[in-house]
Amino acid sequence: MKSKLLLLAVAAALTLPAAAQAQMRALSDPVVPHADPESLFTSPDPILNRNKQAALHIQRDLLKCNKWSEAGTWLTDRYIQHNPVAASGLAGVVYYFTQIAKRPVLDPCPGLSAEDPNGVVAVTAEGDYVTILTRRIMPYADDPSQSYTTTWFDTWRFVDGKADEHWDPMTLPTGPAPQAAAETGERG
């Protein structure tokens, strides 16, 4: 009797995580971008307006249209990066987007729109900080042909109208790095 219960418990333990994962679906309402996102990048306060306008150029010209040759207009040389996949410094972030991500330039550069996959939801500014909330469309782990939406954020601290520091919720990929996995395979 005990062995049957033990086998049943082991079988349940092995199937429950897969069953639970198969049932995982977003319960939240979809994230909907603002109908006129560029209108969110203004303020009656001249300093907040300058910073929001710089954030607009970062979001549109750099992140959407990949005009990284213009990055020095909107980012300081020391640009402190808190995203773990890109280095600090103007050269580091430009290198990431042009050499690692290899994002092609969009020319002409269209304005931000509600149809953008990472459409802007909201923009807030306080003091030297501007935060942009955007929609993220994420594939389900068990069926990448289906997706759900969630919210991403980017926050910048501005100095004299240029972004000097950046935060977002990026994390490092899980699992071994491809090079580390190859090295492990060669040693074995």
Instruction: Give me the tens of pLDDT residue by residue for the chain, a chain 188 residues long.
Output: 655 544 455 555 555 455 455 568 999 999 999 999 999 999 999 999 999 999 999 999 999 999 999 999 999 999 999 999 899 999 999 999 999 999 999 999 999 999 999 999 999 999 999 999 999 999 999 999 999 999 999 999 999 999 999 999 999 987 666 554 444 444 44
Q: Could you tell me if 60 and 111 are in contact, meaning their C-beta atoms sit under 8 angstroms apart?
A: yes
pLDDT reported for residue 92? 94
Q: How many helices (H) and strands (E) does the chain have?
A: 5, 5
User: What is the DSSP pairing of strand 120-126 with strand 147-159?
Assistant: unpaired
* Among 66, 65, 119, 125, CA closest to 93: 66
153 beta partners:
133
Backbone angles phi, psi at 114, to 5 degrees: -65, -20
Would you state the pLDDT for residue 165? Answer: 98
Residues near 125 by beta carbon (within 8 Å), at least 6 away in sequence = 43, 48, 51, 52, 55, 131
pTM for this model (two decimals): 0.80
Provide the 10 A C-beta neighbour count for residue 65: 20
